[in-house]
């Protein structure tokens, strides 16, 4: 006759399974979250590369005004007016935007559910977050004004460089003057050398 599990044995199994789930579920959720964040960041970098490519292709003609590309559901693409941004991937959600400045800097806000990938015009990389998705991304790049001491150092460096250039120019002039009238060749015995302005041979 087969003996079944007792109530205590079943409870023990349930407790063990619950502990395993308690440990593994957060780890699995973290892996899924990291994968989604990584995919969103990759998509953002893809759009940034597309904007950089557009800037390079139009570098000669120039970009007169900043371009703001937003999702166009009708035409299935990222558009700034009639200009389409060529990229690979799905159409971003509403609220996403790519800003291409006239100086070539790129800012992006890429939204995917509760997550968003952000890069302002002053950031060096894309940040994925669930907060501040509506923050301003078109930031002015701060300008730095040299201090008076920096200006003095710069002026001294320019003066020193100009002096070196003048000295080198004079040396070149002296060499040209010294070389005037010199001819290279061989003497009657086949020795290599040069003839000076007085036609005197000087062997090497």
Query: Does 54 score more than 50 pLDDT?
Result: yes
- CB distance 121 to 139 below 8 Å: yes
69 has pLDDT over 90 = yes
| Mean pLDDT of all residues in 174-198 | 73
CA-closest candidate to residue 44, choices 110, 141, 135, 114: 110
Mean pLDDT highest for which of 13-27, 95-109, 127-141? Answer: 95-109
Which band of pLDDT confidence, cut at 50, 70 and 90, is reported for residue 153? confident
Q: What is the pTM of this model?
A: 0.56
> Any residues with CB less than 8 A from the CB of 183 and at least 6 apart, and which?
194, 195
Query: Higher model confidence: residue 96 or residue 89?
Result: 96
Percent of residues, the chain, with pLDDT higher than 70 = 87
Q: Indicate if the pLDDT at residue 145 is higher than 70.
A: no
What average pLDDT does the structure give for the chain? Answer: 80
| pLDDT value of position 144 | 52
């Amino acid at each position: 006759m087969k003996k079944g599990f007792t109530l205590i044995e079943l409870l023990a199994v349930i407790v063990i399974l619950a502990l395993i789930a308690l440990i593994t579920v957060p780890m699995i959720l973290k892996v899924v979250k990291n994968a989604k964040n990584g995919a969103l960041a990759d998509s953002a970098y893809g759009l940034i590369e597309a904007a950089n490519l557009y800037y390079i292709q139009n570098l000669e003609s120039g970009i007169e005004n900043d371009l703001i590309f937003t999702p166009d559901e009708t035409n299935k693409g990222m558009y700034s007016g009639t200009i389409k941004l060529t990229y690979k991937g799905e159409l971003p959600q509403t609220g996403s935007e790519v800003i291409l400045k006239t100086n070539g800097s790129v800012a992006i806000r890429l939204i995917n559910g509760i997550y968003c990938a952000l890069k302002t015009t002053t950031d060096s990389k894309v940040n994925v977050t669930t907060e501040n998705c509506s923050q301003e991304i078109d930031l002015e790049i701060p300008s730095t004004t040299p201090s008076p001491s920096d200006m003095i150092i710069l002026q001294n460096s320019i003066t020193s460089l100009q002096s070196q250039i003048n000295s080198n120019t004079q040396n070149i002039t002296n060499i040209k003057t010294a070389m005037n009238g010199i001819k290279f060749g061989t003497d009657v015995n086949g020795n290599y050398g040069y003839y000076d302005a007085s036609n005197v041979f000087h062997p090497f």
